[in-house]
């Protein structure tokens, strides 16, 4: 479950791997997480805390590998996920079994558990060998692929990036191995615990209870020997990550390479770290709180929440007009960025755009005059009518370009909109007169920019074709596939049938919800109360003497 985010990144990798933002964000976040989790793990004495932080490190490793668009990285991700599943699951099961059998999982109270819990101890040892990257386990293969990826980056010209990444991978391997070696030594192999009153086994698990974890650990420790047979199982998901056929072949032995020597050096350094675990933990204990990784992480999270709160207050905490302004200006900014990214040198705008005909110019003028009348009107009714005229002008465009279905739909929507707006605003109290508005310049600028946004969307869609048009497909397949000559109807009913069915379902549910609200007891009681008040007012008006004025 904790790999769900990594899985999502892997699915997005074919589409986003060419983006520099994708590369640097995944490499930096994944690399820092990889080192942070491994270095932090050894400071704890709780078995599950150690395993949790090394899991964070493994997820950071997979994320950092997903930054690269290479066969080595794609295979490294799949092997890392597989190795992590086969060693971390039995280690967590081992920790839970120890906690249940002894009553604690604090390493300071544990020692010599291999005698009363031999199967559990064997499970933990096999899984620890894979987690530390001891050959010939899956963990060793995953560590080799990680080192080879950064080694290839260094050899391909990225000296500083490859060197930093290689150093981070070495650091992660040393502290991950040191943490798991310390866990196995303190829990199962040493003869005396740190505390004067060590814990003892109270509930010894049966062999069949411990067998599933042992099977997982054995698979992670030994099945990599058969990598030639199991390679297709690893290559298939790697091809999905890469989005292309993959020609990488896996092997446990490539000779005495620099990466292999580094891997063996990592194991030796991990043993030294495990042996000096007390000094390492003491150094962490004397580290100032502001320099600890947990403090830095919590500070970053708190800062993100404060920024989000303030941004929400600015964007969505005020009246509707500023919120709409921010939303529309964000769309304008995105369009402006897209315009600057387009190569405009080869565009022949005058050759691509036809000169408007007289009927089109007349419709343009009607729509413009009606839009200006809408914003300049002092009466709600006049503004609603002017807005309806704008919609009717759009309807005339559809009729002019031989789209009767769209024209009928547009006209129906406009009529309904005008009727509903008149009914609603008839019940709403009139607004107070507004004096001089000091923000009129800002509103004019926003209006002009948003108008340019709509204009630019339509124009660039017409003159700049980024891909082949899909219109010929619909025209050619409307009759053979949908048995209909009306292309619009075939698109809505056949080609986009599920989408149309979903829209109809939403409208039906909304109608049922509205009907349920209207027929609810609360609304019925309110309706009866309003009817009673209306009858009382009429009766009071009828009983009032002629010529009497209001109080």
100 and 188 housed in the same domain: yes
306 and 400 housed in the same domain: no
What pLDDT, on a 0 to 100 scale, did the predictor assign at position 551? 45
Closest CA to 150 of 300, 322, 2, 27: 27
Give the whole-angstrom CA distance, residue 273 versus residue 178: 5
273 and 396 housed in the same domain: no
Domain around 71: 4-282
pLDDT (tens place) for every residue of the chain, 551 residues total: 778 899 999 999 999 988 999 999 999 999 999 999 999 899 899 999 999 999 999 999 999 999 999 999 999 999 999 999 999 999 999 999 999 999 999 999 999 999 999 999 999 999 999 999 999 999 999 999 999 999 999 888 788 999 999 999 999 999 999 999 999 999 999 988 888 888 888 888 999 999 999 999 999 999 999 988 888 888 888 998 988 888 778 888 888 999 999 999 999 999 999 999 999 888 888 878 777 777 888 898 999 999 999 888 877 777 777 788 888 888 888 888 877 776 666 555 555 556 778 888 888 899 899 988 888 887 888 888 888 899 889 898 888 887 787 888 888 888 888 888 887 777 677 666 655 566 778 888 888 899 888 888 887 777 766 677 788 888 888 888 888 888 888 888 888 888 888 888 988 998 888 788 777 777 677 777 777 777 777 777 777 665 554 44
Radius of gyration of the chain (CA): 35
Residue 26 CA: distances (Å) to CA of 60, 94, 348, 475: 9, 32, 40, 43
280, 43 in Cβ contact below 8 A? yes
81, 170 in Cβ contact below 8 A? no
Give the whole-angstrom CA distance, residue 224 versus residue 196: 42
- Omega cis (within 30) before 232: no
**Does 535 reside within a domain?**
no
309 and 329 housed in the same domain: no
**Does 192 reside within a domain?**
yes
Token digits of residue 41: 């793990």
What pLDDT, on a 0 to 100 scale, did the predictor assign at position 347? 56
Taking only the tens place, the pLDDT of each residue in 485-520 is 888 888 888 888 888 888 889 889 988 887 887 777
What pLDDT, on a 0 to 100 scale, did the predictor assign at position 49? 94
58 and 167 housed in the same domain: yes
Which residues are bridge partners to 106 per DSSP? Answer: 46
Please report how the helices 20-41 and 159-184 are oriented relative to each other, as an axis angle in degrees rounded to 10: 30
Give the three-state DSSP class for 106: strand
Give the whole-angstrom CA distance, residue 260 versus residue 143: 10
Closest CA to 10 of 22, 20, 192: 22
**Does 206 reside within a domain?**
yes
User: How many domains would you assign to the chain?
Assistant: 3
Residues with Cβ < 8 Å from 363, sequence gap 6 or more?
Answer: 393, 396, 397, 400
Residue the block writes with tokens 């809408």? 374
Give the whole-angstrom CA distance, residue 311 versus residue 385: 38
**Does 503 reside within a domain?**
no
Greatest Cα-to-Cα distance within the chain, rounded to the nearest angstrom: 114
What kind and span of H or E run contains 234?
A: helix 227-242
335 and 272 housed in the same domain: no
Closest CA to 153 of 23, 58, 242: 23
11 and 138 housed in the same domain: yes
Which contacts of 240-243 are long-range, i.e. CB under 8 A and separated by 24 or more positions?
240/10, 240/11, 240/14, 241/10, 241/13, 241/14, 241/66, 241/74, 241/77, 241/78, 242/13, 242/14, 242/69, 242/71, 242/74, 243/13, 243/14, 243/15, 243/17
**Does 179 reside within a domain?**
yes
**Does 550 reside within a domain?**
no
Q: Which of 236, 257, 282 is the last residue of a domain?
A: 282
**Does 542 reside within a domain?**
no
What pLDDT, on a 0 to 100 scale, did the predictor assign at position 94? 95
The phi, psi pair for 536, rounded to 5°, reads -65, -40
Give the whole-angstrom CA distance, residue 221 versus residue 83: 9
The phi, psi pair for 106, rounded to 5°, reads -80, 120
Alpha helices for 317-469 (secondary structure H):
320-341, 349-352, 358-376, 380-400, 404-427, 440-463
136 and 30 housed in the same domain: yes
Closest CA to 126 of 42, 210, 250, 40: 210
Residues with Cβ < 8 Å from 221, sequence gap 6 or more?
Answer: 126, 127, 129, 130, 137, 138
299 and 381 housed in the same domain: no
What pLDDT, on a 0 to 100 scale, did the predictor assign at position 325? 85
* Cβ neighbours, 10 Å, residue 183: 30
Closest CA to 251 of 222, 231, 223: 231
Q: Which of 481, 496, 511 is the last residue of a domain?
A: 496
For the chain, helix, strand, coil in percent to 5 are 75, 0, 25
393 and 488 housed in the same domain: yes
Alpha carbons within 13 angstroms on the beta-carbon side of residue 501 total: 6
Number of H helices, E strands in the chain: 22, 0
Closest CA to 35 of 6, 64, 75: 64
Residues with Cβ < 8 Å from 440, sequence gap 6 or more?
Answer: none
Token digits of residue 440: 């009129």
What pLDDT, on a 0 to 100 scale, did the predictor assign at position 433? 60
Q: Which of 448, 476, 496 is the last residue of a domain?
A: 496
13 and 154 housed in the same domain: yes
Give the three-state DSSP class for 462: helix
Which residues are bridge partners to 46 per DSSP? Answer: 106
Residues with Cβ < 8 Å from 450, sequence gap 6 or more?
Answer: 328, 331, 332
175 and 295 housed in the same domain: no
**Does 388 reside within a domain?**
yes
């Amino acid at each position: 479950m904790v790999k769900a985010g990594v899985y999502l990144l892997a699915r997005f990798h074919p589409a986003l791997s060419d983006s520099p933002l994708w590369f640097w964000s995944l490499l930096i976040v994944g690399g820092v997480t990889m080192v942070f989790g491994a270095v932090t793990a050894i400071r704890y004495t709780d078995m599950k805390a150690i395993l949790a932080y090394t899991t964070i490190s493994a997820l950071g490793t997979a994320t950092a590998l997903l930054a690269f668009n290479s066969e080595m990285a794609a295979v490294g991700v799949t092997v890392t996920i597989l190795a992590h599943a086969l060693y971390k699951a039995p280690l967590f099961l081992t920790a839970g079994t120890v906690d249940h059998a002894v009553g604690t999982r604090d390493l300071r109270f544990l020692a010599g558990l291999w005698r009363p819990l031999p199967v559990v101890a064997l499970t933990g040892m096999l899984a620890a060998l894979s987690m530390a990257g001891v050959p010939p386990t899956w963990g060793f293969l995953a560590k080799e692929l990680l080192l080879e990826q950064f080694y290839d980056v260094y050899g391909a010209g990225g000296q500083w990036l490859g060197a930093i990444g290689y150093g981070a991978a070495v650091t992660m391997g040393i502290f991950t191995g040191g943490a798991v070696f310390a866990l196995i030594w303190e829990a199962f192999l040493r003869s005396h615990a740190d505390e004067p009153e060590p814990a003892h086994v109270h509930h010894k698990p049966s062999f069949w209870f411990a067998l599933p974890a042992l099977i997982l650990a054995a698979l992670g420790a030994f099945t990599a020997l058969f990598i030639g047979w199991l390679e297709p199982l690893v290559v298939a998901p790697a091809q999905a990550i890469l989005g292309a056929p993959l020609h990488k072949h896996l092997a446990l032995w490539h000779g005495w390479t620099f990466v292999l020597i580094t891997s063996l050096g990592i194991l030796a350094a991990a043993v030294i770290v495990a042996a000096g675990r007390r000094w390492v933990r003491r150094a962490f204990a004397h580290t100032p709180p502001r320099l600890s990784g947990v403090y830095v992480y919590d500070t970053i999270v708190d800062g993100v929440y404060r920024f989000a709160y303030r941004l929400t207050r600015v964007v969505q905490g005020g009246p509707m007009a500023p919120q709409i302004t921010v939303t529309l200006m964000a769309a304008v900014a995105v369009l402006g960025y897209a315009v600057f990214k387009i190569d405009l040198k080869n565009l022949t705008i005058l050759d691509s755009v036809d000169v408007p005909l007289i009927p089109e110019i007349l419709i343009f003028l009607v729509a413009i005059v009606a839009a200006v009348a809408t914003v300049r009107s002092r009466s709600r009714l006049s503004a609603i009518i002017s807005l309806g005229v704008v919609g009717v002008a759009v309807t005339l465009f559809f009729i002019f370009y031989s789209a009767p279905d769209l024209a009928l739909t547009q006209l129906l929507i406009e009529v309904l909109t005008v009727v509903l707006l008149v009914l609603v605003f008839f019940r709403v109290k009139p607004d107070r007169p507004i004096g001089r508005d000091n923000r009129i310049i800002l509103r004019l600028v926003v209006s002009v920019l948003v108008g340019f946004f709509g204009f630019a969307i339509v124009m660039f869609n017409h003159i700049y074709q980024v891909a082949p048009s899909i219109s010929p497909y619909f025209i050619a397949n409307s009759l053979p596939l949908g048995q209909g000559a009306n292309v619009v109807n075939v698109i809505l009913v056949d080609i986009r049938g599920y989408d149309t069915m979903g829209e109809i379902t939403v409208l039906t549910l909304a109608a049922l919800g509205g009907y349920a609200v209207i027929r609810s007891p609360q609304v019925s009681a309110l309706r009866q109360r309003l009817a009673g008040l209306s009858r009382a007012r009429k009766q009071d008006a009828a009983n009032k003497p002629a010529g009497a004025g209001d109080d």
